[in-house]
Amino acid sequence: MSMTNADERESNDSIGFIDPVGMRANKATRMAGTTRILCFCFFLFVAHSAGAEEERLYPFWLDQGGGFINERGEVVIEPQFDGFDGFFVGDMAAVKVGEKWGLVDRQGKLRLKPQFDRIYESSGIWVVGNKTGTGIDGYQYGIVNTRGVVIAKPQYNVQPSGLGINGMAKIPVERKSETPTIRGVTRWVEFGLLDKNGLILLKPEYNGIATIGSHGCTRVCKDEGAGEKCGFIDAQGKWSITPRFDKIYPHPVQDSFTAVIQNNKTGFVDLQTCKILYEPQWRNYNEYNYSGDLPGFTIMQGDQSGFLSDGGKFLVQPRFRKVRRSTEGLFAAILGDDNLWGFINDKGETVIAAQFDEVSFFENGIARARVKGKWGYIDKQGKWLIAPRFFKVNRFDGTGLAAAAIESNAWDLWGVIDSSGEWVIEPRFGEVGRFSKSNGMARASVWSGKNMWSGRWLYGFIDRKGEWVKNMKWHYSLSDFNACNLAIAADLDYNRIEFLDAKGNTVHRRNFSDLEFDDYCVAWAKNNPEKYATGTVDPKILALLKKDYKFSNIYEDIGVALFFNKAGSKGFFDHSDGFVDLNGNIVLEPKYRIESNTFKFDSKYFWLYPPDYTNSSKDGNRAGMVVFNKEEMTVIPLYDTHFYFYDNGFAVVKKNDKYGVINSKGETIIPPRFDDISYHSVKHAGLMLVMQKDYNGFKHQFFMDTHGVLRFHTEQVGDRYVLKNANGDILWPKPPASTHP
């Protein structure tokens, strides 16, 4: 895996830069990105019509006021406004005339007369406010629809919000009471609902209104005496289910249905139709119960159990006493009143008749089953592969052997059987583990005393004949060999951890600590089958152990493991993280705190923080990223604040109080040299807008395309400011028409 530091990709000679006072621009040969918007409250949006995408309009500011320009450099709305609050949302943008705010359309016509002290867009509505000295923040708020019509004058002490569906608006009304409510409060907010014309759909008497999923089905809850009751309204704001549920789960299942609770019974609602899918009638619903190799939900109806698939359909109707997870296409189920287990398929049809006292899941076509206190093994037709004659059994491992036990007076005695059920090692041990494929050894235990009242268990290794390995050292406890051909043991004094190689020899000791090495070793073995087969331990893995590294997560899809070293002198949060590949090579030295990952743009991203990072530390906001893309790893060094990649692959970054833009590969598109930037212009990446103050305090604007190439900019010419294109031609003010014939 190759590694690139994003700093190495930046070459100042190849990046065009606009002088902040308005000097000529160098030709930009490389820049791409995103930018933030003017400090006069620009939050760039992309406008969409009901069908095709609307032409993007960008605000610009000159000394005679502000206007809008398109991507071709044509001034669409002449400079005339005293301020902006956002770009066009749909057909309108918020503009300021004097001290008041209104709305202008794409033709430059005022659709809403400037009359309000505040305005902003919220999920399909415009929220307007006037400063009255009342209300939670000193403002009272009203609502304007997408046609620019005031549908609710400023009257609400709390800010309303759009529902994001058909122009509906959620209206808040503050309530007070001298005596505490059932929730123990004397002041609260209740919500109602207006349609796009200002008609009341719901009176403000509900304590919660929230859309679930993407189909417009909306949860509405109301306090009713002893508790809260919830129901649903549809995308037109009409009741589809009146409030009667005690709880509605807020997270939809694959955007198709959700669970509701009524009188301790669970049902389901179809979010596409906003109608009842199944009336509340079951218990033991678990929202995240993905069962076995088939995702879905086990539910209980009385004493009957069934299985609901993630599409909202029953694969197994609730008519069985119990249903367990499905493996290899079969569900274990109690089929009758005699509490005997059998197996059913995903149609609820009996495949193996109920006849067992207990069963396990199927693995490689074999399941364990118990009858009359004895365990054996069955196939997927329910036939005995090994008759039930053992007191306990384990599953077969990859060597074709399984540990089994017989009952004795003192304790169970364990031995090993083959696939025919014959003893290959007679039962004489207190415990027998899994045999390693590479060295043929398994852990086992034996009692050291002459009777059960004196002595203790000692652990060591046996071979496939059941003989103790020669020159073996006894241990207090012992693990199976992992995929790295290492076993972990505790010494007899139980104060040291030992790592044992494939021959049982100690290769490393250290004091007790939490160890999570198995996952990494499984991934390592998949990547190194020859080393695994020979039973050798990679020296690089031993080197990692000796550095006291702990592995926390394995990412087989990108071929690395995240590890961290032991905590430093400042405690738990004082540690450094790094990455190692599946061959034991360190690909990122542990010098960062690495947290959370996400998958985007066919790459995996991880946050980087300073090693002593805590939420309260002075460096708490500093962050970088490490990006894994195919066979390449790129480290994006620490910037002053968090940054996020938009769907177009650009992110705004800040360094030394200056803003810039990078792409998803960590390459610098616009170097962090500007005083301000439009985040939303970067997010929608038509033209990106960055700003820089001159000595007069005027904030110059530079419009750059997604390659960082300058398209337009403002510049001072004499005693006025003008808008120019990259060739230096003045776009505004328009030059006077020629008077020559």
Cis bond before residue 733 (omega within 30° of 0): yes
For residue 267, the model assigns a pLDDT of 87
Contact in structure between 45 and 714 (CB atoms under 8 Å): no
Tokens 């005393």, residue located = 449
Measured from the Cβ of residue 23, the count of other Cβ atoms closer than 10 Å reads 10
542, pLDDT greater than 90: no
Other C-beta atoms closer than 10 Å to the C-beta of 266 total 24
Closest Cα partner for 488 from 468, 466, 517?
517
pTM: 0.71
CA 213 to chain centre: 17
Which ranges constitute the DSSP H helices of 237-300?
A: none
Number of H helices, E strands in the chain: 4, 62
Three-class secondary structure of residue 12 per DSSP: helix
The average pLDDT across 169-178 equals: 87
Alpha helices in 64-106 (DSSP H): none
Sign of torsion over alpha carbons 637, 639, 645, 651: negative
More confident residue, 81 or 530: 81
> d(Cα 704, Cα 453) in Å, to the nearest integer?
83
CA–CA separation, 506 vs 518, rounded Å? Answer: 18
Quick one: which H or E segment has residue 526? Answer: helix 518-527
**What share of residues in the chain are helix, strand, coil (percent, to 5)?**
5, 50, 45
Given a contact cutoff of 8 angstroms between Cβ atoms, the answer to whether 273 and 289 are in contact is: no
Amino acid identity, residue 685? A
| Structure confidence at residue 336 (pLDDT) | 80
For residue 120, name the pLDDT band (cuts at 50, 70, 90).
very high
User: By the 8 A CB rule, do 682 and 690 touch?
Assistant: no
Q: What average pLDDT is seen over the chain?
A: 84
- Residue 37 banded pLDDT, cuts 50, 70, 90: very low
Which of 48-57, 192-201, 538-547 is the most confident on average?
Answer: 192-201
Token digits of residue 647 = 């769907």
Whether 271 shows a pLDDT value over 60: the answer reads: yes
Q: Structure tokens of 282? A: 């079951």
Instruction: Please determine, for residue 562, whether its predicted confidence score (pLDDT) is greater than 80.
Output: yes
CA-CA distance, 387 to 370, in Å (whole number)? 10
* Per-residue model confidence (pLDDT) at position 316: 75
Q: Is 680 helix (H, G, I), strand (E, B) or coil?
A: helix
pLDDT interval class at 449 (50, 70, 90)? confident
Beta-carbon contacts of 297 under 8 Å, excluding residues fewer than 6 positions away, are 285, 286, 287, 289, 291, 307, 308, 310
| Of 514 and 55, the one with more pLDDT | 55
Question: CB neighbours (10 Å) of residue 317?
Answer: 14
Higher-scoring residue by pLDDT: 335, 107: 107
Cα separation of 651 and 169, whole Å? 32
Whether 684 contacts 53, CB under 8 Å: no
Using the predicted structure, report yes or no on whether residue 543 has a pLDDT greater than 50: yes
> Quick one: pLDDT at residue 52?
45
Question: What is the rounded distance in angstroms from the CA atom of residue 174 to the CA atom of residue 182?
Answer: 17
